[in-house]
Structure 1
């Protein structure tokens, strides 16, 4: 039933259709409706639930009116909307007796007065006035009651058409296939695509079988089918568009620090100088906490990031800087690799480094790069109790936060450096490599300082306080608020654990010290331990020795009293840190010069010459080895924790052999790493 003009209502006594049956409304009590079925059973239903059922309807009344699609009305041509408005004026007069917008007190015309003429009489009069049939007026009125003005619109103007028009479906399929093939190839022209499509159609269906449109129509068809694909624009944008997931993009959320940490590597948009004089781009590997946007760790390396570098992120995340061995000495200006005027005050820098949040990750998200899926990284995560989650192939949105952080680093930090290359070749300046002044160690210092003073204290748009949503928070502030909300603070590793992450080998402590791969390490602290049994029967009395493959100038021996740092006996001759692959390269140079490559003094002289040859213009191969060695050693980074494997007794070192096979360390193979570098 209805109350007033066109307003549907529900009253006691009405029959309704509900839940597949017919019921009579017995009573209305507040928001409840009491119903009686045809069998006499009574029930009470909430009115909101009753009217939300899909099959609800009041028997004997017209269906509920639908709202007009105002957006679609605006898309119609002006003449179509004017015609619909004219019909609406007539329908209102038929319904009420007065046209829309009539002045108050206006009397209806006698033939349209509802008090003296029935609805059928009024519709007959309107049909005669307009020169149409009564059936037409009845049909228009019915559509107007249900759909409003939209029911009076000429439906021919509302039809939608396929973007391909009347083109042959086989031709459309061929164009789609050709456009799909353009995703990973160099950008071409539309004429090239037309030629390929014609050849595909003729090869599949035969020549002349599929009708081909004119060249103008062909271009329009390609334009319609390539919309949004960037088929004839930037190849990078085209590939990125194709890599987008099919489903909606869902932002990644985390409620506590360390719940999810995203790790990735990318080349920085800046040229750096190796000690050999070569200019290259540096790889940056970072770990970003999703909850606080804290850059937990950042490692720079030349040329390519290795598995050891990815594992280093875990050590830097889990060991606070003040707890790392040699941290205070590394901050002294006299020992800094950066110009003194570019450094913060030492006390200020120490204070900022100590205040930086230490994130203990529960889960790390990585991609399928060889750096992260290596045994080195996975075993380190397993030992530290970190869950590893791999993102889907070619889906950067799975770790969108770390990808966005790379862009922020380039924008906020890298673009202000000399030798900035821009994100693509078209944005690169002239002879950028000539402006390169920063070495990788110096840039690492500058990046660490910027992270402490700039990134961690800078408000981030994605970090908001729920009580002050308009105010952005810094990563340090967000960490403080989340720690207060969580109610606990995770425990971090100790300084001794930093050494535990270094690769391990087992050796005898002889009268001359410890011998590893034709290198001798010795110190006075080893005196009581010479020719002594370590107490490890499973290792036949050998001693546990840890070393950094990027800095072989010293090793670390574990004793019952603690760690002993043992330097290389020929370090004063070289007077510079060196990596394992550099030592192997020096041995090959010594053998090529006719020297005894098992004599460490002779190899040490060759190594010293190799490390100092850069300023005199070395060959390209040696220059690369020198640059990588000095860069890796200058940062003083540990490798990942390996699986401890027993080695044999101290190896005999015959002079007749130019090189010997070194037993694998299980996690880090120095020889294989050196070959990959070279």
Structure 2
């Protein structure tokens, strides 16, 4: 019967009758048919009650698998006495529906990182689907102060909290308008074997920031129990109070949640960031007790302030090139026509001296290092090791699409135009985004109804679209009529970029 109970660990949940039947089958196969005399049914059921204690053999399959993965010996704990000395990262679906563009209601994934010494949530990101770039963004957010946002209470400022704002401000000017969330630089990060965290991009980002990445043992959630518990606390302390809460399982889910009021993805992200600062960082944590006064439990901010007295603080400012370094990388050749990625051609005049040339990296067979943003395919960055700088290269057919979009929309457009040219795929992607922008009741959409997958792709693309940023042009030298000898023509300035403007209404 112990063997039958152990076999049920990874199987679907069944009744006690099946365990008893399987027990008889094991004995029959071992001893032979007709040679085993079984006790009564009531006796077998009583035996099962004793042997199955704490195994959830007939209960929740998820709980049963979690119990089966626990180590047999006593639990250990790696001590952490300084902020950032040991941190854990993980991703999980958030039990909340969000309203994406075009009316799509869908669950999102939460990726968060927690500091073991202070139990501080240093960063948390919501995405429709977590990518390696999102995990790298967590690293950047952890070492960057959280700036106060419009609508937040003044009580959330770092200057109003228990954090030593004045002393830290002398070391880091970025904290002047920061919210009450500690800035922690990771030294070691423990993660599971999810493809996002073991990807080459996340490993390269950790190497760039000097972070030691430590994957946990496979199928051993106890190696990172703190982040597992923290994500569960986010569900009980935050998610269940949000409109559109779905519950942890299908039997806990309400009815017609899609028809009710739902937050958009940016709004929910803003609420989560505010909750972390206002609630989590100021809430007394049972795992942060003072050894000299066990009855007192510290909050994450209080524990950070205490440890800062002995550990100190060193700011790590990031610039634009650091942002490029954290993006996913790939290695390709620079041909005469430029660089081609997934049927997209990128080209620029600065690539002239590099075309059909060896990059100097023999380990990569002379290919060139290229970084790209999966949420914005409008440009890529090529590392020029000769001049020690990055070259920004734009997509050749960027003018065909009026708004930024990512890999998901491009892949969907490739499926709609099998074997099509680059121009045809670009036009298909533009048409997909245009239909999403116009809405289901527009004239252009009445003749051709969109599939649910098209709507999901368009909604996810718009939810993760980056904000457009334009560099200010250098100031022009001042000239006078005496300098030129002619009358100056009327200067017509360019209009300002409006992110809310319909990009297809321009003529």
Distance across 1 between alignment mates of 2:214 and 2:15 = 42
Question: Deviation string for 1:483-527 (max 9, x for gaps)?
Answer: 2112x32341422322322346789899x99997645688xxxxx
Q: Secondary structure at the match of 1:423?
A: coil
2:109 corresponds in structure 1 to 283
Contact 1:353 1:452 in 2 (8 A): no
2:218 corresponds in structure 1 to 393
Distance across 1 between alignment mates of 2:356 and 2:300 = 47
Q: Secondary structure at the match of 2:282?
A: coil
Determine if the alignment matches structure 1 residue 373 to structure 2 residue 198: yes
1:612 corresponds in structure 2 to 434
* Structure 1 residue runs without a partner (length 5+): 1-174, 323-327, 334-341, 523-528, 637-678
The TM-score, its normalising length taken from structure 1, stands at: 0.56
Distance across 2 between alignment mates of 1:199 and 1:485 = 64
Determine if the alignment matches structure 1 residue 231 to structure 2 residue 57: yes
2:463 corresponds in structure 1 to 631
Q: Secondary structure at the match of 1:461?
A: coil
CA RMSD of aligned residues (A): 3.9
Distance across 2 between alignment mates of 1:483 and 1:390 = 27
2:184 corresponds in structure 1 to 359
Distance across 1 between alignment mates of 2:402 and 2:9 = 53
Distance across 1 between alignment mates of 2:368 and 2:22 = 70
Contact 2:156 2:179 in 1 (8 A): no
Distance across 2 between alignment mates of 1:258 and 1:197 = 51
Change (3 A) 1:353 1:423: farther
**Which of 20, 23, 26 matches 1:200?**
26
Distance across 2 between alignment mates of 1:259 and 1:412 = 27
**Which of 267, 287, 293 matches 1:462?**
287
Q: Secondary structure at the match of 1:284?
A: strand
Determine if the alignment matches structure 1 residue 405 to structure 2 residue 230: yes
| CA positional deviation for 1:299 | 1.7
Paired residues in the alignment total 432
**Which of 39, 42, 45 matches 1:216?**
42
Contact 2:157 2:180 in 1 (8 A): no
1:296 corresponds in structure 2 to 122
**Which of 318, 327, 333 matches 2:143?**
318
1:184 corresponds in structure 2 to 10
Determine if the alignment matches structure 1 residue 582 to structure 2 residue 409: yes
Q: Secondary structure at the match of 1:286?
A: strand
The TM-score, its normalising length taken from structure 2, stands at: 0.73
| CA positional deviation for 1:257 | 0.7
Distance across 2 between alignment mates of 1:279 and 1:265 = 20
2:497 corresponds in structure 1 to none
* Structure 2 residue runs without a partner (length 5+): 159-174, 361-366, 441-448, 469-507
Change (3 A) 1:360 1:206: same
Change (3 A) 1:513 1:463: same
Question: Deviation string for 1:598-656 (max 9, x for gaps)?
Answer: 33xx65543332113232252133223213322222489xxxxxxxxxxxxxxxxxxxx
Distance across 1 between alignment mates of 2:27 and 2:372 = 65
**Which of 406, 415, 422 matches 1:598?**
422
Distance across 1 between alignment mates of 2:352 and 2:12 = 67
Contact 2:344 2:395 in 1 (8 A): no
Distance across 2 between alignment mates of 1:183 and 1:471 = 40
Bigger Rg, which one: 1
Determine if the alignment matches structure 1 residue 474 to structure 2 residue 299: yes
Distance across 2 between alignment mates of 1:356 and 1:242 = 37
| CA positional deviation for 1:455 | 2.0
| CA positional deviation for 1:552 | 2.7
Contact 1:610 1:626 in 2 (8 A): yes
Contact 1:272 1:440 in 2 (8 A): yes
Contact 2:97 2:107 in 1 (8 A): yes
Change (3 A) 1:370 1:534: closer
Distance across 2 between alignment mates of 1:543 and 1:189 = 59
**Bigger Cα displacement from structure 2, 259-268 vs 463-472:** 463-472
**Bigger Cα displacement from structure 2, 529-538 vs 458-467:** 529-538
Question: Deviation string for 1:266-311 (max 9, x for gaps)?
Answer: 1111122332433222111111110111112212221x42233223
| CA positional deviation for 1:446 | 2.0
Question: Deviation string for 1:542-572 (max 9, x for gaps)?
Answer: 9987542211345567897987877768767
Equivalent residues in 2 for 1:419-498 (5 A)? 419-435=244-260, 437-466=262-291, 468-486=293-311, 488-496=312-320, 497-498=322-323
Change (3 A) 1:367 1:347: closer
Distance across 2 between alignment mates of 1:205 and 1:539 = 70
Distance across 2 between alignment mates of 1:544 and 1:321 = 31
